[in-house]
Amino acid sequence: MELTVANVLLAFVALLAVEVVSVIFHMRERYRLRAFPGPKPAPLLGNLPELRRKTNFIAYADWAKQYGPQFRIFLGHQPVVVLADPELVREVGIKKFKAFHDRSIAPLNPEGGKQKLAGDAGILPSRGAYWTTLRAAMQPLFHTSSLVSYDPIMNQALDTLLANLEAPAASGEPVDMWNQLGRMTMQVLGTAAFGVPFNTQVAVGEEDSELVKASNAVFTMGFARLRTMVMLTLPRALWPLGSLLTSKLGGQQGRKIRQASITVWRTSSALVQNARKRAAEEGEVIAAAQEDWKWWDESTAHAFKDVMPARNSIIDMMMRAKDKLTGAGLTDRQIAANCNTLILAGHETTANTLTFTIFLVARHPDVERKLLAEIDAFGDRQPGLEDLDKHFPYAEAVIKESMRMYPAVVQTGRTAEEDSMVGGRLIPKGTWVHFAIYSIHHNPAYWPQPAVFRPERFLCQAECANRHPNAFLPFGLGPRMCIGWRMADQEARIALIRLYQRFVFRLQPEALKTVPELRVGITLSFKDGLPVTVVPRNR
């Protein structure tokens, strides 16, 4: 377009109109939420600039101190009520679950089409009765009988991890424990959920598998944050335009994340397709329907093209599932979407928790001594689920305190399905409600000296009795809390015990002085991993 005075004036007038509309919108929504205090929103962007500048969990903690446990903000045009009080969170997440049934999630694939249909089919963004069907289909994976069967799977993966750490332990060369733990948890997930050896634990120094690299790229979230910010400032009708714009702005990082997403989707799709093929060959009638949903090029080969999941894996469970209301089965697209969720969320959160735990234990020698004493009393046996509560209360407290200080998910949320009173204030229909998990975990009203790493706070009966039961929320709460929390807890505790049976870990000098930079995407993690020196134990 030719740059003329008329065009410049036209652009200026259009921008001014957008600003005016934005100001009017925020004034209207602030009036609807007038019972809630909160920071003043900027035109168009709302409170996104401050959230980006401070990171969301720090901004929420600061605003909670300034405005109290209930306040409102704007993510662009989207009104959000933030709850930083466990009783208010309980009211929304449990007592009034029907009015706040669905999650508040930013547009995942605003460009629409097959990619949006696939992205919206996972259990995290699922809504209404569809969510109920998914949860029922996936729940057997996390029954106690299933968890007990995962003991040898977890210990086998840890055998490989311990063997991989022998070389850096002998040489004294630092190793990134976050990377090593991510490989281990991905192996556990593949075998436990799908009966597939993902072969992600290559030796230290060798290149990560494509699946591990793709998963790590998805969790960087830089491009996704840019896209979310753009979408939340635009009317829904302009989302395709915003998607095109962010694709151009995202550049190489955007292309990398899109390709990483396709790698994970292709893995899930291949596993589903191969399970369906086996069922057909064996004459099994399955409820799952096929549909045209793939948006990527299937012509090139990939690592899991011919890999067959185990019988009665989570894929088989979902292929047999039926909607409780309609009686219809899930589609291949829906099954693959939930395989995706398991692959991504099922390994990264546990790896982050273990990484933060090793970091905190290494900075607190007194905690390390108590942890080692408890582990040594058990001996060199491989622990299982039935051993954890009986023999390792301190190890459990160490992991809980780590999750309190550094929850893998710093916030989660719901959407108001109707006008609802919460804490004596009206939350209008359509408002997002965020649970400020990090803020609650660092509130001295529930956690005296919250900046101090003190596992004993989870062992003192009087202290536990006086604490609100929902002041600890690493997995959320209510019907929509993390479906795999028991498996994640089991894996983290077994891994911590096995690692400290053989080694202790020493931080690099800079990590002893200051906390390494954090990365906040879908989850909370160290931005550049956690380099440590692995030291063999002389017992």
SS3 87: helix
Cβ(520)–Cβ(55) under 8 Å? yes
Cβ(200)–Cβ(186) under 8 Å? yes
- Tokens representing 522 are 């879908």
- Tokens representing 197 are 């050896």
**Residue type present at position 288:** A
- Tokens representing 182 are 């991510």
Q: What angle do CA 367, 372, 376 make, to 5 degrees?
A: 155
**Residue type present at position 192:** A
Residue 464 marked in a binding site = no
- Tokens representing 25 are 């919108």
Cβ partners under 8 Å of residue 305, min gap 6: 270
Task: Report the 10 Å Cβ neighbour count for 320.
Answer: 17
CA dist 440 and 471 (Å) reads: 6
CA dist 27 and 30 (Å) reads: 5
Radius of gyration of the chain (CA): 24
| Helix segments in 44-150, DSSP class H | 48-54, 56-67, 86-90, 113-119, 128-138, 144-149
Edge-first strand listing for the sheet containing 531-536:
175-176, 531-536, 503-507
CA dist 183 and 208 (Å) reads: 8
Q: Is 439 exposed, middle or buried (0-12, 13-18, 19+ CB in 10 A)?
A: buried
CA dist 392 and 490 (Å) reads: 12
Cβ partners under 8 Å of residue 374, min gap 6: 391, 392, 393, 394, 395
CA dist 60 and 54 (Å) reads: 9
Q: Which residues are known binding-site members?
A: 482
Q: Which residues are known binding-site members for heme?
A: 482
